Homo-oligomer: A and B are copies of this chain.
Amino acid sequence: MTDKMVIDHVGIATDDLDDLSELYTELFGAEIAHTETFDGMNVEFLAVGDAYFELLEPLESTGAIASYLDGNGPGLHHVAVATDDIEAALAGAAEMGVDLIDEEPREGAWGHDVAFLHPKSTGGILFEFVEH
């Protein structure tokens, strides 16, 4: 990889986004960077230094985050690594034998291109590549 990657955000599943946002704002001096409704969820990016907490609150009883909350309760959902070239990052991952959830980048929250890797290939962690 010649690409310089950085830890971009930690995705957090919550059933009370407003409450958690207020807590992290006070506890960590986090600042609201972006808020939207995306894919049946309230989504908020909270900046802490150069990285973010991405709070994800489902508005419907179906979908990945709603299922996660049902199975695990609120908590850490995924870790996103930013790249300048998501196509190259995905191709590199595939070449290494990492199982891709998304074979091609798709539009994620905040208008970013995103693609997820399967946790069984990456030490039990759901990773996301993100290109801003």
Contact = CB atoms under 8 A, between A and B. Distances in A.
Interface of A: 1-7, 10, 12-14, 20, 23, 26-30, 48-51, 53, 72-76, 79, 81-82, 92-93, 96, 98, 119, 122-125
B10 A79 contact: yes
A interface majority secondary structure: mixed
Contacts of A6: 48-51
A48 B12 contact: no
Contact of A123 (B51, B74, B98): B74
Nearest to A51: B7
B7 A49 contact: yes
A123 B12 contact: yes
Contacts of A92: 26-27
A76 B123 CA distance: 9
Contacts of A93: 27
